[in-house]
C-alpha cells in the first residue's frame, strides 16, 4: 500500500487541538502522532472529533500492558465521549521530554453508507519513578456515522492543550 504525506503539524506553542480538514481522494487514512499534554495529571487521553462531532463512538475496546506485567482489557460502551480513542499520552507532571507515540488507522474513511472503524496502537513512557512506567496499548472503536470523514480533530481528553513539540502527521493510503 502506497502512502502520501497529506499534512504535518509540528507545534511551536501550546494548542488546544490539532485539526486536519479537506481530506479526500484516498482509500484509507493513517495518523502518526507524538504527543504531550499540559494536563497536571500523570497522563491524558487522546480524543478525536470526526467531522466536528466529539461523540458517536460506540463499543470502545481497549487493551493495555503496563511494564510488561499487568494486562488490562476492558470494553467501554460509549456514546457521549471518546476519551481514549487514540490511547494515552504523558502530561506536564511527567519528566520533561516524555511523549507518546500513536498510530491510528481509519480504513474506508471516504465511503458512505456504513460506520467507520478506527484502530489505534500507542506507547507512552512516564519517566517518573524507578523504573519508568511504560504503557503499550491498542484501542478499537466504531464511529456510528455513515458519512465520509473529511475532518479529524485531535485534542487532550481533559480539555487542556498539546504542548509545544507535539507532532501529528496525516497520510493518505492507496492500494498499490
- Note the pLDDT tens digit of each residue in 46-88: 888 888 887 777 666 666 666 655 555 554 544 435 556 777 7
Q: How confident is the model at residue 20 (pLDDT cuts 50, 70, 90)?
A: very high
Nearest to 97 by CA among 43, 47, 155, 166: 166
For the ranges 7-16, 35-44, 77-86, which has the lowest average pLDDT?
Answer: 77-86
Location of C-alpha cell 507532532: 167
Read off the DSSP letter of residue 14.
-
φ, ψ at 69 (rounded to 5°): -120, -35
Is 23 a residue whose pLDDT tops 80? yes
Q: How far is CA 162 from the centre of its chain?
A: 12
- Segment 107-121 shows an average pLDDT of 87
Say if CB 40 and CB 92 are below 8 A apart: yes
How much is the pTM? 0.83
User: CB neighbours of 34 closer than 8 A, spacing ≥ 6?
Assistant: 99, 100, 101, 102, 166, 167, 168
**Quick check: 139 and 61 in contact, CB under 8 A?**
yes
End-to-end alpha carbon distance in the chain: 5
Please state, in angstroms and rounded to a whole number, the distance separating the CA atoms of residues 89 and 21.
23
Cell numbers given for 25: 481522494
More confident residue, 146 or 87: 146
The pLDDT assigned to 32 comes to: 94
The pLDDT score that the predictor gives to residue 80 is 39
| pLDDT average, residue stretch 107-126 | 85
- Cβ 28 vs Cβ 105: under 8 Å: yes
Task: Give the pLDDT of residue 73.
Answer: 53
Question: How large a percentage of the chain has pLDDT more than 90?
Answer: 24
Q: How far apart are CA 70 and CA 54, in angstroms?
A: 30
C-alpha cell at 101: 507515540
Amino acid at each position: 500500500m502506497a502512502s502520501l504525506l497529506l499534512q504535518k503539524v509540528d507545534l511551536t506553542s501550546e494548542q488546544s487541538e490539532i485539526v486536519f480538514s479537506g481530506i479526500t481522494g484516498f482509500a484509507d487514512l493513517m495518523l502518526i502522532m507524538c504527543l504531550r499534554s499540559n494536563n497536571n495529571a500523570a497522563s491524558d487521553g487522546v480524543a478525536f472529533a470526526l467531522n466536528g462531532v466529539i461523540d458517536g463512538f460506540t463499543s470502545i475496546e481497549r487493551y493495555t500492558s503496563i511494564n510488561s506485567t499487568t494486562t488490562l482489557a476492558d470494553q467501554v460502551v460509549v456514546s457521549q465521549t471518546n476519551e481514549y480513542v487514540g490511547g494515552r499520552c504523558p502530561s506536564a507532571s511527567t519528566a520533561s521530554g516524555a511523549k507518546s507515540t500513536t498510530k491510528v488507522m481509519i480504513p474506508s474513511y471516504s465511503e458512505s453508507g456504513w460506520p467507520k472503524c478506527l484502530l489505534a496502537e500507542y506507547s507512552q513512557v512516564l519517566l517518573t519513578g524507578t523504573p519508568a512506567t511504560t504503557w503499550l496499548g491498542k484501542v478499537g472503536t466504531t464511529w456510528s456515522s455513515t458519512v465520509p470523514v473529511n475532518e479529524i480533530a485531535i485534542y487532550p481528553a481533559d480539555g487542556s492543550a498539546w504542548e509545544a513539540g507535539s507532532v501529528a502527521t496525516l497520510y493518505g493510503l492507496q492500494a498499490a
